[in-house]
Structure 1
Amino acid sequence: MDVERDTRSLGSFTFECGDVIDDLEVAYEAYGEFTGDNAVLVCHALTGSQNVASRSSGDTAGQARAWWSDVVGPGKAIDTTEYYVVCANVPGSCYGTSGPATEAPDGEPYGTDFPPVTVGDWTRAQRRLLDDLGVGRLHAVVGGSVGGMNALDWVKQYPDDVRLVAAIATSARLDPQCLGLNAIARRAITTDHDWDGGDYYGEDHPDPTDGLALARQIGHIMYLSKASMERKFGRRSAGRGSVRDTFPVDEAAGFFPYREVESYLDYQAENFVDRFDANAYLYLTRAMDDYDLSEGYGSDAEAIGAFDGEALLLSFTGDWHFTVEQSETLADAFREADAEVAHHVVDSDHGHDAFLVEPENVGPPLSDFLAAGVGGRAVSDTEESERSGHAPVHNSLFPG
């Protein structure tokens, strides 16, 4: 699969906070051939990258590389032989787009001097990038998790530029529980002595890996459901030879079991700190926390009132990070705004990560939606959807 991989300098950029940087650089990947009306923008999740389907880039690793390769590619749900697919790393991240770790005009990394970023800044940066690529109106914007918020923001900011929007495992705003957990994750980073007020860059200064590792572990627990954790780990021991935590004293290490769930969290954390920047994690979680679709309007419906395209909302029963009920509330907002909308609920106990690890449940409705809008067979045919595991939610399932 041919991939266009580049970083574009977009010139001066004013953030929503009012701060300006002289040159915003945005790293992106593009797949397929642009024919004028076939562009699909894919918005990545919190710690994702522009490498939505590419494994050949040396800039990313682990889950940030080819993170949706089962959905994007030749003959797949977002078919790169049919669509021109663009995915851009968002401002504030650390995969090539300007962020805390990039060089400021004084030659030193920005650190916490980088402007606070918002989801709205991401959307405007993507619009600038697409302008630079010669792309006007988009066939579709697709995103999952906070990338779904990003997709919704396109409908709010640029309603005339989007024909279809697919918002997957997302909501119009975070609930207090998720806000609280994100706050604890950030506190884990900022209380790490090595964070040093965000000024930890340079060979002579250790990175705040302990704090970032804890933050990531909190995130992973948010992404899994109780059922999936029971299935994957139960209360099983990982083996006494694997013990890492010697609380309360060294002699106790041979007594208390080191459980499989602990081993999993430690493994994920160790991999994550090798590929991600702690300041970027602070910036991006703040952007997610701050997002509210209705901001500046009286309601979500008013915020998307100018959109005359079609919407697909996809939610998962085991996802407590972004719930089925939150997606249905979004669907109601689209209905109130007189936009065509379909809400599919996937019966899954995997949790929030289901949108990444269950392509068999995401692909069919997404593919049909891109081809035919809410009239697509897997979107509109209730009987077939129920057989395949992606049943649309009708108003009758959520009585007033």
Structure 2
Amino acid sequence: MHHMTTQDTIDLGSFTFECGESIPTLEVAYESYGEFTGDNAVLLCHALTGSAHVARRPDAGDGTAGQARAWWGDVVGPGKAIDTTEYYVVCANVPGSCYGTTGPSSTNPDTGEPYGTDFPPVTVGDWTRAQRKLLDELGVGRLHAVIGGSVGAMNVLDWLRRYPDDVERAASVAGAARLDAQCLGLDAIARRAITADPNWNGGHYYDGDPPEEGLARARQIGHVMYLSKASMGRKFGRRSAGREAARDEPPDAAAAFFPYREVESYLDYQAEKFTDRFDANSYLYLTRAMDDFDLSAGYDSDADALAAFEGELLVCSFTGDWHFTVEQSDALADACREAGVAVAHHIIDSDHGHDAFLVEPEKIGPPLSALLAEGLSGRAISDTEEPDEDEFAPVHTSLFSD
């Protein structure tokens, strides 16, 4: 079967954000895969620094949408867990980002200059509303499913609260109803690293040098949040980086006496890659949106916020994840039960940390595939308090090969 893919930008016209401010034009970059048959649309919600480029595209090189690789390329595609020969899959870049959708680095048509920090504050609710408008333009009414990971899972929960009648099935992968104080604190330090960079210039740095040092530090804090103690111990331990590891001059003379460790080398490498591809203002805007999200805001409780949703929700969590914890997913599942929402909490045994939802496709693919095909009764879905090896359906490895 011919595999349809689209990469496009739709102009949604003027858009008013939840903060009350408007912009004259909101362009939304999106990709779609497969063909729409009326009831097979699946919306995917990306994580913090993700793009619309969720799956590999036969017609595109590696650099699609400004992101080096398809972020869920082993989960989404023809014959994969989210099968694009069966489902019409849409992924849209969120407002405030820098991958094609209007954000701080976009040109303000009123001034001809980049918005910078004059761009309105953005919330997860704004992402959802922009996605709803995009789907309206694409002729998609009710979604077969909405699925997202990390802050994308918060985006999913906002769909269930805001447009409960528009979704049949949903999956919150490595998500939560809100961030805890530890993560809020780390995010605040990451933002302070950006705004303290001498090049930040109040967010109006586009005609000069960007605040790369600050953005690098922010990303390094993020990377530590995404890994677990166990995965960092296994990956780096206390080892020194090899002599060939590129290191800038030691920051001070005494530093040269001590080893440049593998963990430092890894974080430096990741930061350098990231500053080449992401905008510092977008990092400020998107982390604030994530920090701000609270499922119960405007409601009596999480259960009350979800009560109008009559579909099914699959909650997936990873045991090594301390950014969006198993306990937070447990609390979300409890809120669903209290609200009478059909829910299963599928706990995946993993020591990869928060990154597991991206790096262990063989663990997350089967439950998502089962949800789409059979709902919560699917064989590959278990509602377990404790992960048990026998609960997991065997994975057909060919699903995840290129």
| TM value normalised by structure 1 | 0.93
**Aligned 8 A contact 2:65 2:100 in 1:** no
How far, CA to CA, are the matches of 2:198 and 2:383 in structure 1?
56
Deviation at residue 60 of structure 1 after TM alignment: 3.7
**Aligned 8 A contact 1:59 1:95 in 2:** no
Deviation at residue 41 of structure 1 after TM alignment: 0.1
Partner of 2:205: 200
Partner of 1:146: 151
**Aligned 8 A contact 1:194 1:200 in 2:** yes
How far, CA to CA, are the matches of 1:126 and 1:241 in structure 2?
46
Label 1:360 to 1:59 Cα distance change in 2 as closer, same or farther (>3 A): closer
Partner of 2:117: 112
**Aligned 8 A contact 2:382 2:392 in 1:** no
Partner of 1:219: 222
Partner of 1:49: 51
Partner of 1:397: none
Alignment match of 1:29 (pick from 28, 31, 51): 31
Deviation at residue 91 of structure 1 after TM alignment: 0.1
How far, CA to CA, are the matches of 2:383 and 2:221 in structure 1?
39
How far, CA to CA, are the matches of 2:37 and 2:67 in structure 1?
33
Matched, 1:160 2:162: no
Deviation at residue 221 of structure 1 after TM alignment: 0.1
Deviations 1:92-141 (A, max 9, x none): 00000000000102110000000000000000000000000000000000
Deviations 1:222-247 (A, max 9, x none): 00000000000001111345343524
Alignment match of 1:314 (pick from 310, 313, 316): 316
Partner of 2:325: 323
SS at match of 1:214: helix
Deviation at residue 277 of structure 1 after TM alignment: 0.2
How far, CA to CA, are the matches of 1:344 and 1:259 in structure 2?
36
Q: Gaps (5+ residues) in structure 2?
A: 394-402
**Aligned 8 A contact 1:369 1:376 in 2:** yes
How far, CA to CA, are the matches of 2:326 and 2:93 in structure 1?
28
How far, CA to CA, are the matches of 1:344 and 1:380 in structure 2?
6
Deviation at residue 2 of structure 1 after TM alignment: 3.1
Paired amino acid for 2:140: V
SS at match of 2:176: coil
How far, CA to CA, are the matches of 1:186 and 1:362 in structure 2?
31
**Aligned 8 A contact 1:77 1:367 in 2:** yes
SS at match of 2:209: coil
SS at match of 1:52: coil
Deviation at residue 256 of structure 1 after TM alignment: 1.1
Deviation at residue 59 of structure 1 after TM alignment: 4.9
User: Which segment drifts farther, 363-372 or 117-126?
Assistant: 363-372
**Aligned 8 A contact 1:346 1:390 in 2:** no
Paired amino acid for 1:197: G
Label 1:222 to 1:288 Cα distance change in 2 as closer, same or farther (>3 A): same
How far, CA to CA, are the matches of 2:66 and 2:22 in structure 1?
31
**Aligned 8 A contact 2:53 2:64 in 1:** no
Partner of 1:210: 213
**Aligned 8 A contact 2:148 2:173 in 1:** yes
Partner of 1:396: none
Paired amino acid for 1:262: E
SS at match of 2:344: strand
Paired amino acid for 1:115: P
Partner of 1:126: 131
Paired amino acid for 2:195: T
How far, CA to CA, are the matches of 2:33 and 2:150 in structure 1?
22
Percent identity between matched residues is 72
Matched, 1:69 2:73: yes
Label 1:267 to 1:388 Cα distance change in 2 as closer, same or farther (>3 A): farther
**Aligned 8 A contact 2:54 2:72 in 1:** yes
Partner of 1:334: 336
**Aligned 8 A contact 1:347 1:390 in 2:** no
Partner of 1:234: 237
**Aligned 8 A contact 1:62 1:271 in 2:** no
**Aligned 8 A contact 1:239 1:257 in 2:** no
How far, CA to CA, are the matches of 2:83 and 2:73 in structure 1?
11
SS at match of 2:145: strand
Deviations 1:233-278 (A, max 9, x none): 00111134534352431x652x211111011000100000010000
How far, CA to CA, are the matches of 1:301 and 1:156 in structure 2?
10
**Aligned 8 A contact 2:9 2:29 in 1:** yes
Partner of 2:105: 101
